[in-house]
């Protein structure tokens, strides 16, 4: 059931926000939108992956009190866990939260840790989707690092999306390219995820992530050899959230 926020219908607020900030920069979207009454209370959800440091740094500068949610699936690369601790210590973020799967659900559905071998969707649901949904209760929206350039499925995302008419998804870096990210990391002397140098431009759980060859889609190493392209946290009722542009097509 949609949460009664007193803020009005989500779809209408998304349309207003996209019109209001259409010509703004990522920094301006964060600076103003985080204080915009039409957005409400938001959290940043971060994988602490290959490009995460850019958005984490921006939020630490603009609104360090913003809650930051990190999903530890218990199947992440050790490099990711080390990097997460490093960034959490280095950046002036006030509220970093690590969330995990319900142990009872995990013991029942995946007692031997092999669920990912025959049902990746079910594994992602238990380890990522369900914990995140619990963590986002009480929030009116959440900030993501999704960008248009990452793959065709993300090619039309806007700054703001309607997530199932109950929450708003904010994508401040939607229009940034790889060159923009690289420039920001260099200029601000930010530490990189150690796996990037080893050919991992997109990093998820260790069993389902492989290195990417030059010229491949940046997310080609995620669930390689399958039709799966998303873990499910950006889905509503099993489908990718449709953007305003897609709805108008």
For the stretch 60-71, pLDDT in tens is 999 999 999 999
pLDDT along the chain (249 residues), means of 10: 59 90 86 83 94 95 95 97 97 96 95 94 94 93 82 65 87 88 96 96 94 89 85 54 34
Please confirm, yes or no, whether 231 is among the known catalytic residues.
Answer: yes
> Could you tell me the residue range of the domain that residue 235 belongs to?
10-248
pLDDT at 237: 41
Nearest in space to 164 (alpha carbons), one of 245, 235, 244: 235
Beginning with the edge strand found earlier in the chain, give each strand of the sheet holding 141-143 in spatial order.
96-99, 68-71, 42-45, 141-143, 167-170, 160-163
Half-sphere exposure of residue 85, counting CA atoms within 13 Å on the CB side? 5
Question: Does 47 map to a domain?
Answer: yes
pLDDT at 228: 83
Per the CB < 8 A criterion, the answer to whether 26 and 157 are in contact is no
**Tokens representing residue 200 in the block:** 């991992």
Per the CB < 8 A criterion, the answer to whether 131 and 99 are in contact is yes
pLDDT at 245: 34
Residue 155, domain CATH: 3.40.50.620
Given the residues 123, 124, 205, 231, the one annotated as active site = 231
pLDDT at 246: 34
Question: Does 186 map to a domain?
Answer: yes
Question: Does 35 map to a domain?
Answer: yes
Question: Does 2 map to a domain?
Answer: no
Question: Does 3 map to a domain?
Answer: no
Question: Does 197 map to a domain?
Answer: yes
Question: Does 144 map to a domain?
Answer: yes
Question: Does 169 map to a domain?
Answer: yes
Q: How many domains does the chain have?
A: 1
Identify the three-state secondary structure at position 113: coil
pTM for the predicted model, two decimal places: 0.85
pLDDT at 156: 63
């Amino acid at each position: 059931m949609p949460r009664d926020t007193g803020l009005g219908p989500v779809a209408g607020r998304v349309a207003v926000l996209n019109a209001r900030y259409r010509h703004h920069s990522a920094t301006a979207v964060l600076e103003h939108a985080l204080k915009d009454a039409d957005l409400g209370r938001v959290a940043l959800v971060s994988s602490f992956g290959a490009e995460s440091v850019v958005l984490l740094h921006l939020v630490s500068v603009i609104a360090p009190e913003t809650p930051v949610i990190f999903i530890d699936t218990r199947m992440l690369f050790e490099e990711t866990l080390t990097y997460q601790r490093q960034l959490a210590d280095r950046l002036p973020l006030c509220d970093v939260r690590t969330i995990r799967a319900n142990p009872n659900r995990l013991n029942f559905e995946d007692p031997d840790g092999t669920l990912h071998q025959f049902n990746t969707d079910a594994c992602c649901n238990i380890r990522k989707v369900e914990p995140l949904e619990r963590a986002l209760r009480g929030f009116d929206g959440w900030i993501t690092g999704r960008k248009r350039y990452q793959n065709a499925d993300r090619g039309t995302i806007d700054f703001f999306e309607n997530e199932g008419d109950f929450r708003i998804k904010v994508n401040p870096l939607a229009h940034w390219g790889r060159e923009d990210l690289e420039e920001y990391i260099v200029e601000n002397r930010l530490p990189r995820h150690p796996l990037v140098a080893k050919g991992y431009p997109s990093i998820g759980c260790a069993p389902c992530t492989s290195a990417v060859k030059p010229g491949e889609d940046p997310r080609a190493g995620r669930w390689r050899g399958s039709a799966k392209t998303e873990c499910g946290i950006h889905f509503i009722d099993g489908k990718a959230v449709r953007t305003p542009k897609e709805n108008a097509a």
